[in-house]
């Protein structure tokens, strides 16, 4: 899910407020990697599991709005948040 956090941070902060167009290749790469990741997850997860994972991502982002926190959602921290919702924790363990 790091790629999702990276894409969000690039779109919301680093590209428009700091680096401008020079970060566009990284942003496009992040978008493509995120698309590929969700395609892979779609093969492994069944409804409503992707929705639970996306909800956990949104909640983590809400709790960690600072753009430099993009490196913080390491497996343990994000998995801990996701595990608070048993179905998300189970979904993430299945992908490990």
The model's pLDDT over 17-59, given as tens digits with 9 standing for 90+, comes to 999 999 999 999 999 999 999 999 889 888 888 888 889 888 8
**Count of the separate structural domains present in the chain:** 1
What is the rounded CA–CA span in Å between residue 60 and residue 81?
7
Candidates 74, 81, 76, 30; CA nearest to 52 is 81
Give the tens place of pLDDT for each residue, 53-81: 889 888 888 888 888 777 655 554 555 65
What would the two tokens of residue 51 be? 């929705």
- Owning domain of residue 76: 2-95
pTM score of the predicted model: 0.69
Candidates 79, 40, 37; CA nearest to 57 is 79
What is the rounded CA–CA span in Å between residue 91 and residue 96?
9
């Amino acid at each position: 899910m790091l790629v999702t956090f990276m894409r969000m941070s690039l779109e919301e902060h680093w590209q428009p407020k700091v680096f401008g167009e020079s970060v566009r290749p990284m942003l496009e790469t992040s978008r493509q990697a995120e698309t590929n990741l969700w395609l892979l997850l779609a093969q492994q997860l069944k409804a409503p599991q992707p929705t639970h994972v996306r909800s956990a991502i949104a909640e983590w982002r809400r709790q960690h709005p600072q753009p430099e926190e993009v490196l913080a959602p390491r497996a343990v921290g994000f998995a801990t948040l996701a595990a608070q919702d048993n179905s998300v924790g189970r979904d993430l363990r299945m992908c490990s």
